[in-house]
Structure 1
Amino acid sequence: MISKVNLAEKFSLFEDLWHPRVVGELNDSYVKLAKLSGEFVWHQHADEDEMFFVIKGTLLIRLRDRDITLEKGEFVVIPKGVEHFPIAKEEVYVLLLEPKSTLHTGDVVTERTVTTIDWV
């Protein structure tokens, strides 16, 4: 069934941080939403590219050789194999587009690693 997705409504359905929620599927990828605040972990995805699109706030993505700052309405694609470290000084809302096989924390397992796929 084809249906529209209201991002504000979907973001209102959860409060926890760094726990992506699936809101759609596109071919072999998921469209996910997440709320971020604070620092995440250094990680990489060996086989998948990952897109971060900022809906609200400012997201800093630290790379080993430079930093990328994303403002509302901007996105970046982190290529597979590139280590990255997301940082949100204040709460940030992001839309993620990534293959269904993408593990939340890539090659690193921490207490923040999400192992279940939750839909909203």
Structure 2
Amino acid sequence: MAGAISLESKLATFEERWSPKIVASFNGHDVMVVKVEGEFVWHAHPDSDDFFFVLKGRLRIRLRDGDVVLGPGELFVVPKGVEHCPVAEEETHLLLIEPAGTPNTGDTATAAPKIAI
């Protein structure tokens, strides 16, 4: 059995933005950390919800009917099929959980590859 996973230590191993790194898996889901800054693309996930948990910084999730702003220790789940655009005005660290293989842009052609660290 593996030991505890330090999310802070995992985040310290890379600098890329908007490139999720898999730190664990369970029940067919990837648990990932990611560093974000700036604006991502408007997108939707037709088959799954999108889970965001802020570890450090602030994240604005733009939705067509209003924004959701998250700080450290806060989470939001974007329902499947809902178009959204994450924005971070400063470097922000997130924990993401989604079904394994889910592209971060909702489209495998434009998604960042997911790498286990």
TM surpasses 0.5: yes
Structure 1: how far apart are the matches of 2:91 and 2:2?
31
| RMSD of aligned alpha carbons | 1.3
Residue pair 1:35, 1:93 contacting (<8 A) in 2 also: yes
Q: How does 1:1-120 map to 2 (within 5 A)?
A: 1-107=1-107, 109-110=109-110, 113-114=111-112, 116-120=113-117
The alignment's TM-score, normalised by the length of structure 1, stands at 0.92
Q: CA deviation at 1:50?
A: 1.3
Residue pair 2:56, 2:72 contacting (<8 A) in 1 also: yes
Residue pair 2:19, 2:114 contacting (<8 A) in 1 also: no
The alignment's TM-score, normalised by the length of structure 2, stands at 0.95
Q: Show structure 2 runs of 5+ residues with no match.
A: none
Residue pair 1:23, 1:31 contacting (<8 A) in 2 also: yes
Q: Show structure 1 runs of 5+ residues with no match.
A: none
Any runs of at least 4 consecutive aligned residues in structure 1 with deviations exceeding 6 A, and if so which? Answer: none
Alignment: residue pair count: 117
Q: Percent identity?
A: 47
